């Protein structure tokens, strides 16, 4: 019959209290106390080495969410020292927007509905910085199969998240780049087709007077202008719309569900906002609008709006024309 943890501990303590050592001959140690003690000591050293030198963050967490034990890598990733972590629970350092999902999964794990769970979530570091991690949690149960504590493993996703962000965003303005626009547009156009073919609108914006600004005031001023333009365009749209920088001084806005009149009004608001910026900067706008089913090819949609934008430039600039 397997020995319980408590009996095992008492057995080992009894052996140690009796003063048995490695020098005791086997015939004087019929129960193998020293061998058991040596094996336990070796297991403890291996656990400590693994726990303290692991390349991932590891923690033991109580059923109430308190940290019971944390390794150095956990502290490094989470951005709190061990004392601070163990004085509170995971709830204190978890971003509020992620806490509900984490607690829901933890409750399912506690109820035995899951063997373990994994999720991406955010921690709030001691300096206030937000960090993304991948969290994996499993439960340890006692001899009676009752929940005892959780084992949590975390991995830093900062570099991966940053690389993913940079792949689809313009580094200067923070707007989506051409690749990011293509990804978002695919989903938006498909959703618009499914939603009884609601209309989509795409506006191409090309700045007027930008080269003169660059030549007159330098590239730093030009970069600041592009950032300001990106912000002004974003201020004119909703969170469901997409604003992207295609390169140079060209931007694209993609919106769904607008009528032709609303789409034109949106373009005119943007044109007026950029004209008011000063520094000789204005913009020419080209608008393509219609049912999503007829405009599902993003490149063709951009080409239509681009043709209208070039016509606006030839017609005197600082105006919007519809394809």
Residue 277, pLDDT score: 81
- 296 pLDDT band, cuts 50/70/90, is low
Structural domains in the chain plus CATH codes? 1-51 (no CATH), 54-168 (3.30.450.20), 169-322 (3.30.70.270)
Q: Please give the pLDDT value at position 269.
A: 96
Average pLDDT over residues 271-279: 88
pLDDT of residue 19 exceeding 50, the answer is no
Spatial separation of the C-alpha atoms in residues 117 and 276, rounded to whole Å: 53
Q: What whole-number distance in Å separates Cα of residue 272 and Cα of residue 292?
A: 27
Mean pLDDT of 33-44: 80
* Percent of the chain at pLDDT exceeding 70: 88
- What are residue 201's phi and psi, to 5 degrees? -130, 135
Section 114-134 average pLDDT: 95
Per-residue confidence (pLDDT) for residue 21, from 0 to 100: 44
* Res 2 pLDDT > 50: no
Closest CA to 284 of 256, 311, 254: 311
pLDDT digit string (tens) for 162-209?
A: 899 899 999 999 999 999 999 988 888 878 767 667 888 999 999 999
pLDDT at 66 over 50: yes
Q: Which pLDDT band holds residue 135 (cuts at 50, 70, 90)?
A: very high
Q: Which of 29-43, 58-72, 147-161, 234-248 has the lowest mean pLDDT?
A: 29-43
Distance of CA 97 to the CA centre of its chain: 12
Q: pLDDT-derived band of residue 20, with 50, 70 and 90 as boundaries? A: very low
Give the model's confidence band at 22: pLDDT under 50 very low, under 70 low, under 90 confident, else very high.
very low
Round the average pLDDT of the chain to a whole number and report it. Answer: 87
Give the C-alpha separation, 52 to 40, whole Å. 18
Q: Can you tell me the mean pLDDT for 46-75? A: 91
pLDDT value at residue 29: 64
The pLDDT, as a whole number, for residue 198 is: 81
**How confident is the model over 254-269, as pLDDT tens digits?**
998 899 999 999 999 9
Place of tokens 């080209």: 286
> Could you tell me where the beta strands, DSSP code E, fall in the chain?
57-61, 67-70, 116-124, 130-141, 147-156, 199-208, 242-247, 250-256, 282-291, 320-322
């Amino acid at each position: 019959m397997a020995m319980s943890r408590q009996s095992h501990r008492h057995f080992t303590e009894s052996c140690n209290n009796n003063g048995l050592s490695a020098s005791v001959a086997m015939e004087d140690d019929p129960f193998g106390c020293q061998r058991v003690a040596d094996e336990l000591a070796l297991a403890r050293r291996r656990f400590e080495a693994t726990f303290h030198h692991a390349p991932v963050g590891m923690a033991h967490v109580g059923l109430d969410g308190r940290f019971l034990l944390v390794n150095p890598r956990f502290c490094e990733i989470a951005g709190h020292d061990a004392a601070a972590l163990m004085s509170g629970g995971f709830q204190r350092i978890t971003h509020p927007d992620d806490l509900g999902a984490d607690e829901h999964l933890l409750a399912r794990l506690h109820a035995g509905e899951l063997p373990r769970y994994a999720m991406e979530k955010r921690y709030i570091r001691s300096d206030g910085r937000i960090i993304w991690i991948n969290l994996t949690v499993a439960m340890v149960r006692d001899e009676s199969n009752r929940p005892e504590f959780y084992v949590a493993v975390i991995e830093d996703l900062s570099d991966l998240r940053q690389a993913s962000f940079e792949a689809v965003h313009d580094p200067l303005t923070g707007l989506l780049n051409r690749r990011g626009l293509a990804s978002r547009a695919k989903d938006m156009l498909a959703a618009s087709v499914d939603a009884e073919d609601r209309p989509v609108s795409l506006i191409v914006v090309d700045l007027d007077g930008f080269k003169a600004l660059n030549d007159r005031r330098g590239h730093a001023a030009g970069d600041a202008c592009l950032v300001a333009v990106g912000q002004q365009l974003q201020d004119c749209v909703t969170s469901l719309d997409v604003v992207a920088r295609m390169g140079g001084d060209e931007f694209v806005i993609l919106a769904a569900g607008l009528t032709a009149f609303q789409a034109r009004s949106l373009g005119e608001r943007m044109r007026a906002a950029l004209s008011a910026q000063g520094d000789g900067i204005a913009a020419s706008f080209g608008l393509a609008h219609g049912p999503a089913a007829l405009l599902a090819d993003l490149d063709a949609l951009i080409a239509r709006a681009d043709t209208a934008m070039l016509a606006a430039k030839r017609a005197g600039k600082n105006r919007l024309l519809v394809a």
